[in-house]
């Protein structure tokens, strides 16, 4: 990416003159306020080229990306994705699909139906494992694009709420059965306050990285696991006596999470028994 200009006109460089990837990763933050400047087509093209080089299971590339250009669709997404107005004004919005439909269509075009009818293969339909594999492909591609974008001065924000309101998003994007919007990215040039905002703290590595087998954390560690988020949340919600209870009320049992669970459940039912299955 060193031949692509950054927002300042220079590529982000380390001491040896090459992009300092580690520094980019360690300083990355979510950005929700952008300058109105559009992202030039040549920049978008280069970033998409970087995305396509992302690791992928068996080089199958089980994902598709919808580049949302229509302001009306962006406005719809700003409402359907948990009422986040900044989506409507983001210069670049990308929806990443876990996509097994294209592979399924490829099999049909390749005469797999005839292969099955001749008894040379058994009939198989996409199942949950295929979905999970495709979701991994899509998320790896998204993160590859995010780091490439950061290297030239663009900011980004992941929007997991695209997994809510499955029926609405399925209609909005005309999605076939074996696809699912697993994440969405908003991208743009950050405003100065966003670019210089303090990095958020993370859970310490010793509570995340284990050796050889899973380790349950002790009660003390669990009670203080998210202390670094307390200052970002303001006052506890009514009824909450500590940050764990507050987090449960604010996120885990909140209406939007119940909608996400319902939405994903509906998608899984449609995936397992599509209303208009393919030929084989």
Residues 161-173 have a mean pLDDT of 97
Q: Is residue 159 assigned to a domain? A: yes
Q: Is residue 161 assigned to a domain? A: yes
The span from the CA of 211 to the CA of 88, in Å, is: 44
Closest of 56, 47, 66 to residue 135, by C-alpha = 56
At 186, is the secondary structure helix, strand, or coil? strand
| Lowest-confidence region among 3-17, 31-45, 174-188 | 3-17
Q: Is residue 227 assigned to a domain? A: no
Q: Is residue 13 assigned to a domain? A: no
Q: What is the CATH number of the domain that holds 43?
A: 3.40.109.10
pLDDT given at position 5: 55
Query: Residue 155: is its pLDDT beyond 50?
Result: yes
Q: Is residue 268 assigned to a domain? A: no
Closest of 1, 34, 28 to residue 188, by C-alpha = 34
The span from the CA of 116 to the CA of 39, in Å, is: 48
The span from the CA of 191 to the CA of 193, in Å, is: 6
The span from the CA of 4 to the CA of 42, in Å, is: 9
Report pTM: 0.90
pLDDT given at position 230: 83
Q: Is residue 259 assigned to a domain? A: no
Work out how many domains the chain is built from and give that number.
Answer: 1
Q: Is residue 241 assigned to a domain? A: no
pLDDT tens, 92-142?
999 999 999 999 999 999 999 999 999 999 998 899 999 999 999 999 999
Residues in the chain: 280
Domain residues for the domain of 169 are: 21-199
In DSSP notation, 8-70 reads TSS----TTSS--HHHHHHT--B---B-SPPPPHHHHHHHHHHHHTS--GGG---EEEEEE--
Residues 198-215 have a mean pLDDT of 93
pLDDT given at position 174: 97
pLDDT given at position 232: 74
The confidence band for 13, taking pLDDT boundaries of 50, 70 and 90, is: low
Query: Residue 279: is its pLDDT beyond 80?
Result: no
Q: Under a CB-based contact definition with an 8 Å cutoff, are residues 127 and 174 in contact? A: no
Q: Is residue 162 assigned to a domain? A: yes
Q: Under a CB-based contact definition with an 8 Å cutoff, are residues 94 and 184 in contact? A: yes
């Amino acid at each position: 990416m060193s031949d692509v200009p950054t927002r300042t006109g220079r590529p982000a460089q380390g001491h040896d003159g090459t992009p300092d990837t580690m520094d980019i990763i360690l300083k990355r933050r979510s950005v929700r306020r952008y300058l109105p400047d559009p992202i030039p087509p040549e920049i978008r093209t280069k970033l998409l080229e970087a995305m396509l080089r992302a690791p992928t299971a068996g080089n199958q590339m089980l994902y598709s990306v919808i580049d949302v250009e229509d302001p009306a669709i962006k406005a719809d997404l700003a409402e359907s994705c948990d009422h986040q107005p900044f989506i409507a004004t983001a210069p670049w919005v990308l929806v990443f699909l876990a996509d097994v439909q294209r592979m399924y269509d490829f099999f049909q075009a390749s005469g797999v139906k005839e292969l099955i009818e001749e008894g040379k293969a058994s009939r198989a339909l996409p199942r949950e494992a295929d979905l999970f594999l495709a979701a991994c492909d899509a998320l790896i591609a998204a993160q590859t694009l995010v780091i490439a974008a950061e290297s030239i001065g663009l900011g980004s924000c992941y929007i997991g709420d695209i997994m809510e309101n499955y029926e609405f998003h399925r209609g909005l994007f005309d999605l076939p059965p074996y696809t699912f919007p697993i994440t969405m990215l908003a991208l743009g040039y950050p405003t100065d306050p966003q670019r210089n905002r303090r990095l958020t703290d993370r859970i310490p590595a010793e509570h995340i990285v284990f050796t050889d087998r899973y380790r349950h954390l002790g009660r003390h560690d669990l009670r203080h696991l998210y202390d670094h988020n307390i200052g970002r949340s303001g006052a506890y919600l009514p009824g909450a006596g500590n940050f764990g209870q507050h987090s449960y009320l604010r996120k885990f049992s909140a209406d939007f999470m119940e909608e996400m669970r319902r939405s994903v459940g509906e998608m899984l039912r449609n995936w397992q028994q599509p209303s208009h299955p393919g030929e084989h």
